[in-house]
Homo-oligomer: A and B are copies of this chain.
Amino acid sequence: MHLRQLRSLVALVDHGFSVSRAAEYLHLVQPAVSQHLRSLESTLGTPLFQRHGKRLVGLTDAGAQVLRHARSMLAEAASIVAVGRDHVEEARGVLRMGTTHTQARYVLPSVVQQFCTAYPEVEVQIHQGTPAELVEMALADRVDLAICTEAIGEHPALLTLPCYRWNRSLIATPGHPVLHRRPISLGVLCEYPLITYVAGFTGRTSLSQTFAKVGLHPKVVLSAADADVIKTYVRAGMGVGIIADLAFEEDLDADLERRSISHLFPWEVTRLAYPKNKYVRRFQQRFIELFQQQANRIG
C-alpha cells in the first residue's frame, strides 16, 4: 500500500468520484490515478468502489472504512511534514484560524497584532464562519485552529481549550425607557423589541433557552451575526440590543447606554480547538498562548 494510492482515493471522493478531476487536483494524469485505485483495490483484495460500467459512482462498505483510515493517515502524514518545517524555518509559515465575527472583531485584533509583530514571516489568515462550519473546517484541515463559543463543545476528534467566559450587556439609545427599569429581569426584556445575535452565533442558543426555560418569548425583531450590525439598528431606534460585554467599546459606543445583564443568563465559554493528533507548529502554539493571555485579561 502506498500513500499515493490513498491520496488518489481521498481526492476521488472529494471530487465527486471523477477520476479526471482528482487527477487534475493531484497534478497527475488520469491513467495514473486509475492505476492507483485499481492497485489499491487489488492489494486489499476487495472492491472499494461502486461502478456504473466504467464510471466510479460511490464507495462500497469496505471503501468507506478504508477512506476513514486513509484520511487519518494523510492527516498524520501532514503532521510529520509540519514537524519538519517547524524545525527548518521555525518562524515562517501560515496560521489559518477560523472564527466568528465577534472574536475576529473584538478579541483577536490585539492578539493578532502582537503575533504579527513577533512573527512577521508568518501569514495570518482569518477565516470566518458559523461555529458549526468552523468545527468542520478544523476537522477537514482547512484551518489550523477554530475559536468560537458554540458548537465546539465536545467533538471527540477536537482538542478544545476553554479560554475565557463572558456574558451579555444590554444596549439602548440614551433615554430609552428600559434604562430606568430596576431590576432588569427576563420579563422586563420581553416588554421591548430586542435585537441580538442570530441562532448558532455567539451564545444565541443558550440565550433563547434561558427565556424558554421560564416560558417567556422575547420579541426579537431583528437578529444579526455580529454586534456591529446590532448596534446600528439599536442606534436607528429599532429596539434594545443584547450583545456580548466585550463587544461594547466605551469610546466608539459612547452614544449608547449599556447595562450589564450577566445575572440573567448563563456564562458562556469561548474555546479554542484543533484536531487531536495534529501537530501544532511552534508559532501556532505561541499564538494560542497569546490568545490565552488576552483571554485572562477578559475573563
A65 is an interface residue with CB less than 8 A from chain B: yes
Whether A87 and B1, one on each chain, are in contact in the complex, defined by CB atoms closer than 8 angstroms, is no
Interface residues of A in 39-74 (CB under 8 A from B): 43-46, 61-62, 65-66, 69-70, 72-73
Interface contact A2-B3, CB-CB below 8 Å: yes
The answer to whether residues A85 and B279 also contact, given A73-B76, A80-B1 and a CB cut-off of 8 A, is no
- A102–B61 Cα gap in the complex (Å)? 38
CA distance A73 to B3 in the complex (A): 10
Given A1-B3, A2-B3, the answer on whether A79 and B84 have CB atoms closer than 8 Å is no
A81 within 8 A of B: yes
Nearest B residue to A278 by beta-carbon distance?
Answer: B69
Most buried by B among A2, A3, A86, A87: A87
- A236 on interface, CB distance cutoff 8 Å: no
Give complex CA distance A277, B30 in Å: 31
Quick one: which of B44, B66, B77, B87 contacts A62, CB cutoff 8 A?
B87
CA distance A166 to B3 in the complex (A): 47
> Mostly helix, strand, loop or mixed at chain A's interface?
helix
Shortest Cβ distance from residue A90 to the other chain B in the assembled complex, whole angstroms: 10
Compute how far the CA of A145 lies from the CA of B69 in the bound complex, rounded to whole angstroms: 19
- Are the C-beta atoms of A46 and B88 separated by less than 8 Å? yes
Number of copies: 2
Task: From B69, B70, B72, B84, give the contact of A43 (CB < 8 A).
Answer: B84
Q: Are A80 and B69 in contact (CB under 8 A)?
A: yes
Instruction: Say yes or no: is A179 at the interface (Cβ < 8 Å to chain B).
Output: no
A88 to B60, CA, bound (A): 14
Q: A1-B3, A77-B1 are in contact. Are A45 and B87 (CB under 8 A)?
A: yes
A264 to B77, CA, bound (A): 52
List A2-23 residues whose CB lies under 8 Å from chain B: 2-3, 6
Cα of A81 to Cα of B83 in the assembled complex, Å? 27
Q: A62 with B84: in contact, given A2-B3, A69-B76, A73-B76 (CB under 8 Å)?
A: yes
Q: List 28 A-B contacts (CB under 8 A).
A: A1-B81, A2-B2, A2-B3, A3-B3, A43-B84, A44-B80, A44-B88, A45-B84, A45-B85, A45-B87, A46-B83, A46-B84, A46-B87, A62-B84, A62-B86, A62-B87, A65-B279, A66-B83, A66-B84, A69-B80, A69-B277, A69-B279, A72-B76, A72-B277, A73-B76, A73-B77, A73-B80, A76-B76
